[in-house]
Amino acid sequence: MLNVFPDLLIFSLVAPFIIRIVAGFMFVASGYRKLSPDRLKKAVFFENQGLRPGMLFVWIIALIELVGGAFLVAGLYTQLAALILILPLIGALALKVLRGGNEFNHETAYYVLLLAICLSLLLSGAGRPAIDLPL
């Protein structure tokens, strides 16, 4: 089947750039929220899930999201950042689905969408413009 807008295909490297920037800012915002004053509540949630010490998990996940999100925004080590960011997403999905984590701020679809974006960036790379150079 023919493309409806074949002239737009010259911008195919812009598509990963758009989703990379949006996902990066979403992860930075999520990491920043984890360090908000209610981080004690998040630590208690982790301890109730059997992840002790809870505050350590809050800081580790916040750091992963902040640094990984910043790397996505910058287009630096995009595939590695996407791979690392997949880990807390899988953990969040597991807690949400298997243990009914109603304490999460977002619906399951939010985590599935971010997981799909990270998988897409892992497979496609950073797009243009980025610091990453395709080999």
Question: What per-residue confidence (pLDDT) applies to 27?
Answer: 96
Query: How far is it, in rounded angstroms, from Cα 28 to Cα 71?
Result: 10
Token couple for 38: 């209610």
Query: How far is it, in rounded angstroms, from Cα 67 to Cα 75?
Result: 12
Report whether the peptide linkage leading into residue 129 is cis, meaning its omega lies within 30 degrees of zero: yes
C-alpha pair distances (Å), 5 with each of 76, 96, 124:
31, 40, 21
Query: How far is it, in rounded angstroms, from Cα 131 to Cα 71?
Result: 10
One digit per residue, the tens of pLDDT, for the chain of length 135 reads: 688 988 888 888 888 999 999 999 999 999 998 888 888 888 888 888 787 898 999 999 999 999 999 999 999 999 999 999 999 999 888 888 887 666 667 788 899 999 999 999 999 888 888 887 665
Q: What are phi and psi of 3, to 5 degrees?
A: -75, 140
Length of the chain: 135
Give the residue among 14, 132, 135, 17 at the shortest CA–CA distance from 76.
132
Question: What per-residue confidence (pLDDT) applies to 133?
Answer: 64
pTM of the shown model: 0.88
Question: What per-residue confidence (pLDDT) applies to 134?
Answer: 60
Token couple for 120: 């897409």
- Residue 120's identity, in one-letter code, is S
State the CB neighbour count (10 A cutoff) for residue 102. 7
